[in-house]
Structure 1
């Protein structure tokens, strides 16, 4: 009986440690956030608009060179995400990633966060692979 208690205790400890490691490395991938997005399609693109609620037309499109679009898409694809809470007043960009379908999101660059329009889910990029630094350079 004593051996069973020791084995059971060790088993519980191993499972708990495994769960903590999985949770730490876990989070969400870009395909989780965008509901099975296919990043291998031909001619993927990204469209970015600034959001300024003080203007009559609150969206202003930013022209992005094709090479920069590829870098942004690659960074987004490799990013990791966690669930978050975002105040819509803070949005400063609206982006649309066109892959197998269009995925529109609103970004809060200061908090490295986004809201996926289709699902209304909020996420923070915990490992953005320079997505926001590339975005900052292209929007200046």
Structure 2
């Protein structure tokens, strides 16, 4: 089950390990987005206990609105966040009138799981650090 929750230390602790590497926004940027109402934290619950957090936002694009899953993490042995939560997250996106769900990731295993659900790679970002 997914429930809107406030940004708290638990959300920070669960979000920190899965922020994309070298994300210029960082944890503080994500917290600021939640505080400003630009992003939302969803608590992931199993058997009435919170086991994780998902940070989502809606971004406007040329073709409509996109439901962006910024980061997600859950800690329960045997719990598959993709298989368990994606149908509900996709439902939230449809209800919000979004044209697509975007999930930025650097994790090959997540890409594999999402491709099995019909997702496709839409963008690759390259970065060169400047000295």
TM over 0.5: same fold?
no
Greater Rg over alpha carbons, structure = 1
TM-score, length basis structure 1: 0.28
Give the helix-richer structure, 1 or 2. Answer: 1
